[in-house]
Structure 1
């Protein structure tokens, strides 16, 4: 495989009408979960991706597996639990901005993923591990799985990317969240925080200072997502801003950060210069915000190339500092 990731997937019910979730009567079913979003994104670009998790022996779990089969994501290491159910969520419909989301995931099957479920041969077969901070908050067993996976891949000489993907509601305290998330970020090659996440995790406000916080602790590359303004990247050798792409209308921002990770990491794995990989990340993020589902807007290779060529030289120019 090119990329392996792990985490929780949920069935998502998206409101078909705007307004408070408690008043909505009609919903559309879809798939959700940061790590599964990236697995789908990689697969659509033609990379071989694998996703590791647990789902319940129920209709939600079967739906998730069927969707991933259709997306050609490797699910050989998705375990079926007879004791715990698959989580789900409700998401509001909005005309712009971040939608209201309510989760039903406590004690889910995925939260019981443990080191006993780790398959060395499966992870060894992948070139790269992509992680987010979400599994670290779900349970102690999932955090141990994450620790084991990260340590194993480092020992095997594989590259590791880490997207904090902060979910404060899942943590006991803000201090614990910052401490644990940074612990895993420091042991990764590429760290991909949003600007507000970076401020919270480091105490700094400027992108360059946020990047230095991680670079001084051994991270090779830090890319900070700046929303519609694009992204800032910095390594020991280079740094720069890559402007974002203009879109006519933002439908839903959920999944844009995961799409950005897909573009960046796929570009790096294919040997692109960093600024071009960041440009690809910006492009997939821009496509993602134009659709309702978390991963619905992720492109295949042809769609991505067409979108980037349309804007090349105008909105996707790179300014290196």
Structure 2
């Protein structure tokens, strides 16, 4: 079967349930993308996740939740002295900010059993990772990871990368930019968000971001830009796709992740670029009208 493999982090998500109560869920940028890819992918496309977790009950609960959404977590490394990371969502209207506790996150150790990882990479049609996947790895593991992606991906498979630039995860800005650039240069599909790119690289327009990544060697680039046009670049042709107005926005968490998942799955289903971007925009629009990163499949308005 054809498969998409996501490599990254899943965390414990806590969001306000009112009256000093917290609602526990699971989330992480790569995991979120896989969740929405699974929702949109045809039945014959497998969705797989490589991370690392602890041996504690909440790690068991996390893996069970992923499996309940049709995400295969087979051969997940279990790290005895580690636990899942945790974050809280703070909302100001619909805009969100986060507080994180991930110093002892098991996901940081996800390259420590590379045989399992490279076997999954070599079997996958699409391998998806993010700038957060890179930022949380110890430096030596990061170098092993990037080299392994290039070495072990199969002929004809696609490396898909969302830079998802988070400066607070990096001790050195130059290194952050260098690693992001190196990862993008390995990738076939790059899915940046313009706000991140403008802040980190000083790009003046979304088109500038798209051209910079294409110049590094990406086959095609899709630049997300909130309510503004989504920009697509392939074969030196730039196209813009307007975003339909969304009413009832309550939480923009995972807007970009859900876009990525729907876009990749739609392409794997055989849809055109335009149809895939429209599906991704609709998915993100549905997600931001709900609280939290993960919403049930039946809330996406997809045909059964």
Q: Judge same fold: TM > 0.5, yes or no.
A: yes
When residues 251 and 129 of structure 1 are mapped into structure 2, their CA distance, relative to the original with a 3 A threshold, is same
* C-alpha contact (below 8 Å) 1:240/1:275 kept by paired residues: no
Q: Which residue of 2 aligns with 1:169?
A: 168
Question: Any idea what the Cα deviations from partners look like across 1:106-144, whole Å, max 9, x if unmatched?
Answer: 121111122533423322221110110102111225424
When residues 153 and 229 of structure 1 are mapped into structure 2, their CA distance, relative to the original with a 3 A threshold, is farther
* C-alpha contact (below 8 Å) 1:58/1:86 kept by paired residues: no
Match of 1:83 among 81, 84, 91: 81
TM-score, with structure 1 as normaliser: 0.86
Q: Which residue of 2 aligns with 1:12?
A: 13
Q: Which residue of 1 aligns with 2:40?
A: 45
Structure number with greater CO (CA < 8 Å, separation at least 6) is: 2
Q: Matches of residues 116-131 of structure 1 in structure 2 within 5 Å?
A: 116-119=113-116, 120-131=118-129
Partners of 2:30 and 2:144 lie apart in 1 by 15
Question: Any idea what the Cα deviations from partners look like across 1:194-252, whole Å, max 9, x if unmatched?
Answer: 11122244432122222111212211111110101241111115321111132211111
Partners of 2:215 and 2:221 lie apart in 1 by 11
* C-alpha contact (below 8 Å) 1:284/1:298 kept by paired residues: no
Q: Secondary structure at the match of 2:216?
A: coil
Q: Which residue of 2 aligns with 1:281?
A: 280
Match of 2:70 among 61, 69, 72: 72
- How far did residue 82 of structure 1 move? 1.1
Q: Which residue of 1 aligns with 2:30?
A: 35
- How far did residue 145 of structure 1 move? 5.0
Q: Secondary structure at the match of 1:186?
A: helix
Match of 1:133 among 131, 134, 148: 131
Partners of 1:13 and 1:215 lie apart in 2 by 37
Partners of 1:175 and 1:123 lie apart in 2 by 29
* C-alpha contact (below 8 Å) 1:135/1:146 kept by paired residues: no
Q: Which residue of 2 aligns with 1:61?
A: 59
- How far did residue 298 of structure 1 move? 5.5
Q: Which residue of 2 aligns with 1:312?
A: none
Question: Any idea what the Cα deviations from partners look like across 1:3-27, whole Å, max 9, x if unmatched?
Answer: 001111111111123xxxxxx7210
Q: How many residues align?
A: 298
Q: Gaps spanning 5+ residues in structure 1: where?
A: 18-23, 307-321
- How far did residue 272 of structure 1 move? 2.2
TM-score, with structure 2 as normaliser: 0.90
Q: Gaps spanning 5+ residues in structure 2: where?
A: none
RMSD of the TM alignment (CA)?
Answer: 2.1
Q: Secondary structure at the match of 1:223?
A: strand
Q: Secondary structure at the match of 2:73?
A: coil
136-145 vs 248-257, greater mean Cα deviation: 136-145
Q: Secondary structure at the match of 1:244?
A: coil
Q: Which residue of 2 aligns with 1:257?
A: 256
